A and B are shown apart, each in its own frame.
Chain A
Amino acid sequence: MDLLTWGRSPWGEWILTHISWDLLWASLFAGVAFLVAHAGYLLLSPHRVRPAAETDTLEAARTDLPKRIPRHSLAARLFHWVMAASMFVLLLTAFLPIAGVKFAWVTWHWAAGLVLTASILFHIVHASVWMDFWSIWVGPKDLPELKSELLRELGHDAPGAKPGKYPLGNRLYHTAIVLAGLSVAATGILMMWRVRTPFFTRNPYLLGDTTWGVTYVTHGLAGVGLVGLVIAHVYFALRPEKLWLTRSMLLGWITRRQYLEHHDPERWVPR
């Protein structure tokens, strides 16, 4: 399987054109294989959940908290769903034609790309000004939590070491999606100079052949990476033990018990 596709320029030089579309199938396979493996592991492994008694004790001690704990503001939820919708349009318009479903996809693709880019810009400003910016990132402070999570995954009882607002898996996923999303958005904006849009005067010579090649390859790699990431995201959003998180992205709140069961009140104090 080739990873990259090359062409020969009018000047006889080999130039990168894009990634091999075999990578799309590889990413799809990896995404599906991951979810099958994960689901199989959870079914068959000695995976442990937190003891209910631990949460009972916590809840009895914190009756001062409201029954509903606000988790996602309306603005954050709108951003999430607009971004999700644009991501689905982007992936479908990019990859259905490669999979053999032929339709006029280019305008839909760049229009959805602009929506995604605008929503990312909004999110950066919103998260920087109105949200706890650092709560979503991972760092050395998360090592105890990582250790507890791993122990529970391996079948041990491991109380304590809870996350702040976002579980460790969420934060790792966010890091991956930031890398892929920013790469695909930045390269996508550049690629708009190669097609006709109302926004730019078409100029395929804006960049040199090599730079264009790197731009297309980066866009393609980030795009196929997003296929696997989106499969994983949808899978976790639909898993029974994660539905409380998905519900909070719709309703904006979680229950007091969910808050105490899954979060460390020292690390996340709801506003």
Chain B
Amino acid sequence: MATIRDVMPAFELFQPASIDAALTLLDQHGTDAWVLAGGLDSFDWLKDRIKRPAVVVDLSGVAELKGVRASGDGVEIGAMTTLTEVVRHPLIKEKFSILLEAAEAAASPQIRNQGTIGGNVSQDARCWYYRAGWPCYRAGGNICYADTPQAINREHAIFDADRCVAVNPSDTAPALIALGAQMVIRRTGGERVVEAEDYFIGPGTDITRMTALAAGELLTAIRIPGTFAGARFYFEKVADRNVWDFPLVNVASAMRLEGGTIQALRIAANGVAARPRRLITVEQVLAGRRPDDAAAVTAAGEAAIAGAEPLQHNGYKVPLLRNLVRRALRGTEDS
């Protein structure tokens, strides 16, 4: 492990008061700039002296980026809204309780008070080989230290490993994918909106990034449509301990039933690949079936793990994912 030092290397700190001012700074400094949200991922990097940005743009003073607002029959959440605010907001509680559960499952109360939803979905991989600053693929080198016969890779990917086997550690990400959320990304002179599942990118596409955010871009808001407002939700996270831990695997589903059969279903899992994995084959298997159809649920569980390629020490994630998916579909933690 890298040694955490108390004193960070010097950088130029900017504290803009508006999105436009922040974007101007990001545009000016390009790849030299580091975006600071809640700081919970950033300060690890900076104190470890592994990331040494010349410029840090602190978003904590940008009021436009904070708060939960009604938007049609859905909601829009500012990227700098803390996880605690998400958990406590009545609109989230009333319409999208799956996001409440997911946000509440993240880390610890203190961290949720400081950590933002934008930071939670944009945080970097937690692979310790990578976080130690070694020249692995994700760090721009040419090796994956976690995918070797000797490696400790209990927490790593079972799907879509493309040189790098790190996983995405976000708890809110699968819930947002299940809700069909959209991510609002702005840069100087423009805005683009991407589906939550496309916000996350795997190592095959870009091994040094976890999200679609390019230099100069800022995630400003997350829009959740009303499609699944008040639907049947399920979120479950399995971690080594219940508080202050990243998921080994988590699963989130949003389901609409009509006459007992599934009319609409979105389900996603995280902790199994470098990007949260929307389980489209599971959705297809269950289309038009009843969630209490044991054969269909069993088939869906198998569909969820098809193509899994576990590493030396993470084979347990395969049955774990299968069972979590089955539970999500049945809507109960009873096995």
Residues of A within 8 A of B204 (CB): 104-107
B148-A204 in contact (CB<8A): yes
Query: Secondary structure at chain B's binding surface: helix, strand, loop or mixed?
Result: loop
Query: A98-113 toward B: CB 8 Å interface, digit per residue (1/0)?
Result: 0000111111000000
How many Å from the CB of A103 to the closest CB on chain B?
6
B161-A196 in contact (CB<8A): yes
A204-B132 in contact (CB<8A): no
Q: CB of B221 within 8 A of chain A?
A: no
How many Å from the CB of A139 to the closest CB on chain B?
39
- A196 to B144, alpha carbons, bound, how many Å? 11
- A97 to B139, alpha carbons, bound, how many Å? 16
Contact of A204 among B144, B161, B205 (CB under 8 A): B144
A106-B162 in contact (CB<8A): yes
Query: Secondary structure at chain A's binding surface: helix, strand, loop or mixed?
Result: loop
Nearest residue in B to A14 (C-beta to C-beta)?
B135
With A9-B134, A97-B206, A102-B206: A204-B201 Cβ-Cβ less than 8 Å:
no
Q: CB of A17 within 8 A of chain B?
A: yes
A17-B147 in contact (CB<8A): no
Residues of A within 8 A of B149 (CB): 203
- A102 to B201, alpha carbons, bound, how many Å? 10
Residues of A within 8 A of B201 (CB): 102
In chain A, residues 1-31, which have Cβ atoms closer than 8 Å to a Cβ of chain B? Answer: 5, 7-10, 15, 17-18
Number of residue pairs A-B, CB distance < 8 angstroms:
58
Q: CB of A194 within 8 A of chain B?
A: yes
With A97-B206, A103-B205: A17-B140 Cβ-Cβ less than 8 Å:
yes
Contact of B162 among A18, A104, A212, A216 (CB under 8 A): A104
Residues of A within 8 A of B148 (CB): 202-205
A15-B135 in contact (CB<8A): yes
B135-A7 in contact (CB<8A): yes
Knowing that A194-B143, A194-B163, A203-B149 are A-B contacts, what are 6 other residue pairs whose CB atoms are under 8 Å apart, sorted by A's residue number? A10-B145, A102-B205, A104-B162, A104-B205, A107-B204, A202-B148
Q: Lowest 4 CB-CB distances: which A-B pairs, in order?
A: A7-B135, A104-B204, A17-B141, A7-B141
29 A–B contacts, CB within 8 A, in A order:
A5-B140, A7-B134, A7-B139, A7-B140, A7-B141, A8-B135, A10-B145, A15-B135, A17-B140, A17-B142, A102-B205, A102-B206, A103-B205, A104-B204, A104-B205, A106-B204, A107-B204, A194-B142, A194-B143, A194-B144, A195-B162, A196-B162, A196-B309, A202-B148, A204-B144, A204-B148, A212-B142, A212-B143, A216-B142
User: Which A residues lie at the B interface, using CB under 8 A?
Assistant: 5, 7-10, 15, 17-18, 97, 102-107, 194-196, 202-205, 212, 216
